[in-house]
Structure 1
Amino acid sequence: MLMANPATLRNLVKRYESLRSAHARLGTSESSRHLEDVSYTLCVTTGTRTVPDALRAAEAQLRAVPSAGSVGSKAVPSEVQLTA
């Protein structure tokens, strides 16, 4: 199974949570479109079909990866900007 880059996966989960919150507040067509886009990307990145499954898969993948501060691990940039 392919594994997403941990920094990319963390960024996607954070972006999803941020956009979900923004859409709950704003409820605009633009906020909906952004939320749908990141939801789709999160599903594709984790190889799942639903957001709850994608979030579970992301959590499992991130749990399986040593943190950047672990001995012997390589530092990975934590800020990755995805664009459409």
Structure 2
Amino acid sequence: MLMAHPAVLEELLRRYEELRTRHGEAAARQLEDVSYTLCVSTGTRDIAAALTVARDQLRRSAPRRDDVVSA
């Protein structure tokens, strides 16, 4: 399965959280668009699953402490 780049997922999650706090028709349309994109990007069919998968993928892609080389 293809996976979205972590930076893309981070931006989608940021936009989703931002739009959830807004009101109005334009914000609702944008939230719907971001929700759809999250679902497509994570291979899911509903936003709850998409959020879970996106956050899990970001956790797995984050460098572990033992992977970080200090100078």
TM-score range, shorter-chain basis?
0.7 to 0.9
Task: Choose between structure 1 and 2: higher helix proportion.
Answer: 2
Counterparts of 2:33 and 2:16, CA distance in 1 = 9
State the 4+ residue runs in structure 1 displaced beyond 2 angstroms.
none
Q: 1:60 aligns with which of 39, 46, 56?
A: 56
Displacement of 1:55 in angstroms is 0.4
How many correspondences in the alignment?
A: 67
Per-residue deviation, residues 7-50 of structure 1 (Å, max 9, x unmatched):
0000000100000111xxx2x21111011011100110011010
Partner SS for 1:40: helix
RMSD: 1.7
Counterparts of 2:9 and 2:62, CA distance in 1 = 14
Counterparts of 1:5 and 1:52, CA distance in 2 = 20
Per-residue deviation, residues 40-63 of structure 1 (Å, max 9, x unmatched):
001100110100000000011011
Please tell me the residue identity of whatever aligns with 2:18.
S
Counterparts of 1:15 and 1:64, CA distance in 2 = 21
Q: 1:36 aligns with which of 32, 37, 50?
A: 32
Question: Higher RCO, 1 or 2 (CA under 8 Å, sep at least 6)?
Answer: 1
TM-score (norm 1): 0.72
**1:49 and 2:52 are equivalent in the alignment:** no
Counterparts of 2:49 and 2:15, CA distance in 1 = 16
The answer for unaligned runs of 5 or more in structure 1 is: 73-84
